[in-house]
Chains A and B, each alone.
Chain A
Amino acid sequence: MNGLLTLLVLLPLAGFLVNGLLGRRLGPVFVNIVGVGLPLAAFGVAVWAWRILETGGAEPLIETVFTWALIGDHAFEVSFYLDRLSAVMALIVTGVGALIHIYSIGYMKGDESYARYFAYLNLFLFFMLLLVLGRSLLVLFVGWEGVGLASYLLIGFWFQDVDKARAGRKAFITNRVGDAGFLLGMFLIFTAVGTLEMDQINQAFAGGLIPAGIATAVGILLFIGATGKSAQIPLHVWLPDAMAGPTPVSALIHAATMVTAGVYLIARMSGVYLEAPAASTLIAVIGLLTAFLAATIALVQTDIKKVLAYSTISQLGFMFLALGVGAYAVAVFHLFTHAFFKAALFLGAGSVIHALSGEQDIRRMGGLARRIPWTSGTFLVATAAIAGLPPLAGFFSKDEILWFALASGQGGSVWLWLLGSLTAFLTALYMFRLYWLVFLGRSRMAPEVAEHVHESPWPMTSVLVVLALFSVIAGWFALPHYLEGALPAPDLRFAWPILHWALILFAVLIAVAGVFAARHLYGNGGQRAEAIEQRFARIHRLLAGKYFVDEVYDRLLQRPWRWVSDRIFLRLGDRLLLDGSLHGLAALARRGAAGLARVQSGSLHWYAWMTLLGLVAVLIWMWRYV
């Protein structure tokens, strides 16, 4: 049916407009109906569109809405494109999105800006759908910037708190750095190919018409954009701070959907990356480094949301590793499974924070398993899923990534696999550390907090159960197989099934080892862990300080720029040189005039003498020259 995709995109926009303009006046029930109902409807429409796609034999649906600009021969059209890749993305976005909207009913209850919250959340969905459904890079970019805006607004949702407002600004500006790279990549593509429609770009690059140098440059520039949105090194610094937003927002935007936009972008532009092996290698290396370093940081964080934030960065790193070795469908597979278990983890964390009246420090938790059983149970399932225990979702997707890191014909190597496996071990370790410290062991809560511990209301727990369920079964969909037609798959360096099975076994062993290591270290009050901390105090400080990247950026970028602006531009340039020379000229004129004014003494005789002098001078001149 025509107009279906447009309808899908416009539903959340309608929610934003209605709730934004009227929500405050019409009360929370109305806000719920609009703010939750429309995303649910959007999910329904997405399913419907997906059915149409499947009955049409996976032939992409293209829907042109209007021409944004027509300049010379270049038409910039707003059009939507639904193939299996964008269908999967749209289903994740609307599905997980709708669930998190439902959860928010419970979480945000009684907040004074309830309507504003749902308006922003709907706005986010609108832009995210633009992002995944846009056919042209331009539409994608509109969504790309738009989700950044929604993220900015939601991180700083409680804007009275300066730190939260500041975190929002940091997220926006860090993303903008990436966006500058994205824009340049887009310009280069437009210059080389003459269009921004992504299917045509892929064809042009795949057709070998574009020089390899340009493909590499485009690849790197687009990846810079992706590092911004998907929080990869060196632009990862905003995501941990972004946890200042309400927890459902962290789950939806900063775990399940928006941060995966970079993965989607690169998967979508796979045609470019097939021609740019150097850029692909860069992606794999950066992705793996990010995964590893973020995992090491996650080991020592004490804020429950920060641990999850670094875990997200780490998992995104895994996805980029897959992209870098050409296993695009596998990256999307991990994106898919990650969306469920990470959303479950964040929402579970939200439920914990809710139960503990706002406490986020895991050093002041413990023993919660019996007090809030639903939260604890679902959290355990999701933790096991992310740790890669079979047969849960994370096991399948992570195993595939590690396999391709080793076996891919497009840059797979032993080193990638080794470090990847080590990171997988760390993942199991820090996640079970979190579980142990929060839910098991003795309670370390403050007494007044402990008294009020309560299980969350049903809108929250029911969503947790659904997400936990998907954390179990999401891996059973053979998504890479499903996406074969939409995304290219790499050749294998060696197709030995035995090796594959051995690796799977190894991966399971690693995950189990991680769990036992966590139990060993944190099982009885965490004394062993503390002993290690004290023994390696310097390393601990480095990790707890997140490798001091923020501080380095502050010293190397932010302060110098302010210094240059203030000292060079303002004081030296504007005040001293420009205004200074101007004022100097003015002063010169004034002083010169004052000097000349002295000639006018007021004495008539003096004037007469001057006349005589002038007369004589004229006469001499005439006698001399005329």
Chain B
Amino acid sequence: MSEALALNLLLFLPVVGGILLLMLPERRPNLVRGLAMVVLLAQLALAAWLYLRFQAGVPGLQFETRLPWIPAWGVHYHIALDGLNLLLVLLTAFLGPIVVAGAFTSITRDVKLFHGMVMFIQFTMLGTFLAQDLFLFYVFWEAMLIPMFLIIGIWGGERRIYATLKFFLYTAFGSILMLAAVIYLAHTVLTADGTPSFAFADLYELGLGVQVQTLLLAAFALSFAIKVPMVPLHTWLPDAHVEAPTAGSVILAGVLLKMGTYGFVKLGFPLFPDAALLATPLIMTLAVISIIYGAGLALVQDDIKKIIAYSSVSHLGYVMLGLVSYNLLGVQGAIIQMVSHGLVAGGLFLMVGMIYERCHSRDLAKYGGLAKLLPAYSVFFMILTLAAIGLPTTSGFTGEFLVLLGAFNGAWPQFEQGVSHPLVLASLAVLGIVLGALYMLRLARRLLFGETRAPVSGLRDLSLREAGILGVLVLAVFYIGLFPNDLLQKTEQAAMEYQERMLAVRDGEIER
């Protein structure tokens, strides 16, 4: 089987799976769950195989498929892997089976529809990452809203309508502006060389004026920044997380947020480099504010899910900081941090879901000393907490260390030229590791230590299924923490291309 074919199969497997699901009887939920699991495991196997086949150090796209879709508009069905989306595709495929396994006992209503939605969202998320054509990208980007909307809206908590509306309005608002920018871009390509095209590769070559770039970047960036989410566009996230079912939270934190950062590094910055460089101080400031603001908010929450939701704001601040460092270490760190956050926050949300299933409460004040009652649960929770803090040997450390080192290293030449704000911001971001420890250890202390207290008695420790899910996650966390080199090698070429592109523009500006 050729790799390009496998890539298409990877993308469309959830569609096939979804159609098969529809044919199953609603009365047999376990059959539905089993089929979904098999399909997503097959998808993971494909993704892993493609990861292994992916050639490190080769420039450009790999395993491409390019077919005309709407020839009159120059739209192509164009998917491929590169260093930027490789790990995210792997992460998406990795979290798929975990989501299904995690929802095994928590989703009992409309099981078929739920798994259909999971399939749907897998398809759209993978499509967003794989698309190499702006039109295709936009279609997937928008389509992803529908299943997420339904997952929160149907299986969510009490205030789910408010949360879904907020989520939808925020993201849709961003998307509308992006659509306008997409239309403008399509129009520009058409008039420039006669043949219409939406291919990223062609758009990279546009060479627009700075003013136009600024407007377009603003439109794109708003949409991406909402999804990341960056302060001050983040308030939809805690509500969405709190109301979403566990599976929804895992998908949301694990993959969906990364679509925003991926959008920046794949489209926003390289498409409009001049404008991006102009906006860098702003973005960097917002990134550092996100780190600190998120950490502060996480400290004063009593809802466990909100704590983790705000920690996501903080952690994705690191990703943004790494991306705008325009330093190879920082960009590589940002990519690792995306994956790491997906695993760690996903895992933490799963664990909150597990305790919620037992006690039906997410109020931190009602818990205490769980380490006594649930030793296995506590061990996993502690490991994930430490990974969130960024303790060495866990994936969190790899990401944060490289991001901070890259930010500092990238800011130094500017500092020597008398521009000190990037260095100050990078140094401030280092403070984030203290604040991160503050709120995560507060959570661990209140939940796991102290006098034993729980809303219901007779808690049972992790089942084999739960321990298995968490075990797999924790192994991945340690793997990235201890042996990140293999991953870094595969992403290096793309990170380098991104960095060199941005630096070339910046240094060109200095010469002018």
Contacts and interface: CB of A to CB of B under 8 A. Distances in A.
Nearest to B378: A159
Given A69-B484, A160-B452, A566 B445 contact: no
Nearest to A144: B392
Given A184-B427, A190-B405, A578-B232, A564 B488 contact: no
Interface string B428-466: 001101100110011001001111100000000000000
A191 B484 contact: no
Given A149-B386, A187-B404, A564-B296, A578 B371 contact: no
A187 B431 contact: no
Contact of A71 (B235, B296, B392, B402): B402
- Range, interface on chain A: 35 or more
Contacts of A188: 408
A145 interface: yes
Contact of B391 (A72, A149, A173): A149
A582 B166 contact: yes
A191 B448 CA distance: 40
B437 A160 contact: no
B433 A66 contact: no
Contacts of A71: 328-329, 332, 402, 488, 492
Given A69-B488, A145-B391, A179 B372 contact: no
Given A172-B437, A173-B438, A574-B235, A562 B449 contact: no
B433 A176 contact: yes
Contacts of B434: 173, 176-177, 179-180
A578 B441 CA distance: 28
B441 A173 contact: yes
A68 B408 contact: no
Interface in A110-164: 141-142, 145-146, 149, 156, 159-162
A74 B452 CA distance: 48
A561 interface: yes
Contact of B398 (A69, A187, A190): A69
A582 B234 CA distance: 12
B300 A570 contact: yes
B489 A70 contact: yes
Given A69-B485, A141-B392, A173 B437 contact: yes
Contacts of A564: 296
Contacts of A66: 483, 485
A477 interface: no
Interface in A57-74: 66-72, 74
Contact of A180 (B234, B297, B431): B431
B232 A569 contact: no
A334 B328 CA distance: 43
Contacts of A159: 369, 371, 448-450
A544 interface: no
Contacts of A72: 328-329, 492, 496
A162 B449 contact: yes
Nearest to B407: A187
A533 B445 CA distance: 39
User: Which of A149, A156, A165, A562: most chain B CB closer than 10 A?
Assistant: A165
User: Which of A69, A74, A177: most chain B CB closer than 10 A?
Assistant: A69
B409 interface: yes
A184 B430 contact: yes
Contact of A582 (B235, B431, B448, B483): B235
Contacts of B484: 68-69
Given A166-B445, A176-B433, A176-B437, A569 B392 contact: no
Given A69-B485, A159-B371, A184-B430, A562 B299 contact: yes
Contacts of B8: none
A229 interface: no
A452 B311 CA distance: 51
Contacts of A191: 408-409, 412
Contacts of B361: none
User: Which of A70, A176, A177: most chain B CB closer than 10 A?
Assistant: A176
A126 to B, nearest CB: 10
Interface of B: 166, 232, 234-235, 293, 296-297, 299-300, 328-329, 332, 369, 371-372, 386, 391-393, 397-398, 401-402, 404-405, 408-409, 412, 426-427, 430-431, 433-434, 437-438, 441-442, 445, 448-452, 482-485, 488-489, 492, 496
Given A71-B332, A159-B369, A186-B405, 13 more contacts: A69-B398, A70-B488, A71-B402, A160-B452, A165-B450, A166-B445, A184-B408, A561-B299, A561-B438, A562-B299, A566-B300, A573-B293, A578-B232
24 contacts: A68-B482, A69-B402, A69-B485, A70-B488, A71-B328, A71-B332, A71-B488, A145-B392, A145-B397, A146-B391, A159-B448, A159-B449, A162-B450, A165-B445, A179-B434, A180-B433, A180-B434, A187-B404, A190-B408, A562-B300, A565-B296, A569-B293, A569-B297, A573-B232
